[in-house]
Chain A
């Protein structure tokens, strides 16, 4: 087929790229997570497990990690609750408008993350669109403070941003369900509702798992939304990592937290992968 030289020429550059810009930094970071910082802010290159111990001893790290997971879990649930009906509607009920509606779901992905996050800021702020409207119609006397700079704002924004990621794999599995199966189900006496629960939903579970994994993993590692909209109560674990690498100048602890996150995410990916395999039985 292709010559050896050609194959080498096309495979080596990407491998090198991954090695230099991903694997080496990861290895370095992994080393950092076992080093420490002296009081005079110098990295001490002696091996220790202190960083990992600290992570489990200091309450704020674990608390923030759990809060991040709780936020990510809520984002996942809301993304699925919005994404699934949307995917179902697009796949089964739209006919000729399908392409147009699909594009309408995809287009927001092209809009910058920052623009979308700032948009929520202008909507949720104390003199933002929502509060102004609520006061104008006299539903509230004063601006509602919990709207912005709260876990609520973070969950709302992340749900908005990651719903298309939950939608896409679900839509794809729904599109791959042969329509004659749906007809067969109706033919055997199942109403549309029964057909959904006995046929369509079970067959779409791999897509739901993939969508849930996307939404959870992406929102768990998010740091811009909590930074812009979270306030003190909406801080997530990535914000701590950022500050440890930046202002606090504690790279070793930051690296240790990063690796715990990485392990968690890999475990999740592995779990969802094996569940998907179990459910896609063909």
Chain B
């Protein structure tokens, strides 16, 4: 397979602020089954980093490795310059909010929150004050004497958060903490969690499979796919400059245009545009919202074409429309809602919005393994 020229993206696996946590070349396999391959990632002081991926991508394994519940097969993890990966979980200044909260059923809400402080042998008075403050922070003071089984899922979630944060960890790990909540509560907790993180200034590593959640909350997103990092970047960057085809498709909707580049011009079906790529096959991501109705205020350099409306899907404020171009190329287009679409439309996009992407590494590996398949 000829090399696809790589888009110029800064190495975003490096945190910009001083790194709190450094994951260096970490790999993990269960038996012969590799789960993580060569993961390198840094988490900055007071950063909200989301590890995003579908189920089976290895995201939970990576979190469990940081927490100390799994060992690394190779590589190392450092926190503040010191080796973390050879410490047992109870010696790491890392706390976890578990997916199903894991509150202790035999202890009250207040005793749950005070568990870590008591283990650390803090004086009783200080334990009491800090538990009180923590409960206040998550607005659960009235439930201090309740048993976990007597409070709702959303409340249990807050207690799990308070129980972790009260220990003032250097790093807080959150394993899909919102997945068990219903949609409304979930959106509310996303906002609360983000503002709480800003308030306490502790680094959060948040694991989720929900790309919207990741976009809303994160400073940076690390997208994991089949045990490998696809891209690490801010939500804006990862959305507007996806590095790989997988990233472009996983985060939001996109049109993947597969074409040929010759003498600085990309050709895909009947569409041509200028590109900085070298000659050879090229893959481009073109977001549906970057294709506009012609004449609605694009630059002069816009690529114009004509298409036939196939179908439309109403999404509230916007509509997703499928358009077939003259030569059979089908594109998705997002526009403001309007009552009826039919017949042919004139469309345009600017070449800058056709972002060159790599086929993802995992896909390349698959291609290498099965060369007979085309």
Residues of B within 8 A of A181 (CB): 102, 104-105
Distance of A181 Cα from B106 Cα, bound (Å)? 11
| Interchain CA distance A187-B166 in the complex, whole Å | 13
The main secondary structure of chain A at its interface with chain B is helix
CA distance A158 to B94 in the complex (A): 49
- For the complex formed, measure the closest distance between the CB of B104 and the CB atoms of chain A, giving whole angstroms: 6
Q: A194-B119, A281-B147 are in contact. Are A187 and B96 (CB under 8 A)?
A: yes
Q: Which residues from chain B contact A282 at a C-beta distance below 8 Å?
A: 105, 149
User: B90 contacts A186, CB within 8 Å?
Assistant: yes
When C-beta atoms are compared, the residue in chain B nearest to A191 turns out to be: B90
How far does the alpha carbon of A190 sit from the alpha carbon of B67 in the complex, in Å?
Answer: 14
Please indicate the chain B residues that have their CB under 8 angstroms from the CB of A189 in the complex. Answer: 90-91, 116, 119-120, 167
Across the interface, do A184 and B104 meet the contact criterion of CB distance under 8 Å?
A: yes
Does A188 sit within 8 A of B, measured CB to CB?
A: yes
Chain B interface residue bracket vs A: 20 to 34
- B106 & A184 in contact (Cβ 8 Å cutoff): no
Q: Does B98 make an interface contact (CB < 8 A)?
A: yes
Q: Check A183–B102 contact: CB distance below 8 A.
A: yes
Contact with B along A192-231 (1 / 0, CB 8 A): 0010001100110000000000000000000000000000
Chain B residues, CB < 8 A from A39? none
Interface residue from B89, B103, B120, B167 paired with A183 (Cβ < 8 Å)? B89
Instruction: Judge whether B96 and A184 touch: CB under 8 Å.
Output: yes
Give the nearest-CB partner of B91 in chain A: A189
Is the pair B89, A203 in contact by a Cβ cutoff of 8 Å?
Answer: no
- A-contact bits for B244-276, CB 8 A (1 contact / 0 none): 000000000000000000000000000000000
A203 to B106, CA, bound (A): 7
- Check if B100 sits within 8 Å of A186, measured CB to CB: no
Q: How far does the alpha carbon of A220 sit from the alpha carbon of B104 in the complex, in Å?
A: 36
Expressed in whole angstroms, the Cα–Cα distance for A275 and B286 within the complex equals 67
B225 within 8 Å of A by Cβ? no
Asked if A180 and B167 sit within 8 Å, CB to CB, the answer is: no
User: Known contacts A180-B100, A194-B119, A281-B147: does B105 contact A187 (CB below 8 Å)?
Assistant: no
The reply on B42 being an interface residue by CB < 8 A is: no
Q: Please report which residues of chain B, range 55-102, place their CB below 8 angstroms from some CB of chain A when the two chains form the complex.
A: 67-69, 88-91, 94-96, 98-100, 102
Count of inter-chain pairs, beta carbons less than 8 A: 67
Q: Which residues of B contact A187 (CB under 8 A)?
A: 67-68, 89-90, 94-96, 164
A184 to B98, CA, bound (A): 8
Within 8 A of A (CB), among B98-132: 98-100, 102-106, 115-116, 119-120
Tell me whether B28 is interfacial, beta carbon within 8 Å. no
**B100 / chain A contacts, CB cutoff of 8 Å:** 180
Interface residues of A in 263-282 (CB under 8 A from B): 281-282
Task: With A199-B104, A203-B106 as known contacts, state yes or no: A188 contacts B98, CB within 8 Å.
Answer: no
State whether the Cβ of B241 lies closer than 8 Å to any Cβ in chain A.
Answer: no
Which B residues lie within 8 Å of A178 (CB)?
A: 102
Contacts of B358 in A (CB 8 A): none
Bound-state Cα–Cα, A282 to B105, Å? 7
The verdict on A239 contacting chain B, using a C-beta distance below 8 Å, is no
Residue B163 at the chain A interface, CB threshold 8 Å:
yes
Q: Do A281 and B105 touch (CB < 8 A)?
A: yes
A180 to B167, CA, bound (A): 19
A24→B157 CA distance, assembly (Å)? 56
Chain A residues within an 8 Å CB radius of B68? 186-187
**Is A185 in contact with chain B by the CB < 8 A criterion?**
yes
> In the assembled complex, which residues on chain B have CB atoms less than 8 Å from the CB atom of A185?
104, 115
A-B contact pairs, 16 of them (CB 8 A): A180-B102, A184-B102, A184-B103, A184-B104, A185-B115, A186-B68, A188-B90, A188-B115, A188-B164, A189-B90, A194-B119, A198-B119, A199-B104, A281-B105, A281-B106, A281-B147
User: 3 shortest A-B CB distances, which residue pairs?
Assistant: A188-B116, A184-B102, A180-B102
Chain A residues with CB under 8 Å of chain B are 178, 180-181, 183-191, 194, 198-199, 202-203, 281-282
Given A189-B116, A190-B115, A198-B115, 8 extra CB contacts under 8 A: A180-B100, A184-B104, A185-B115, A186-B90, A187-B164, A189-B167, A190-B119, A281-B147
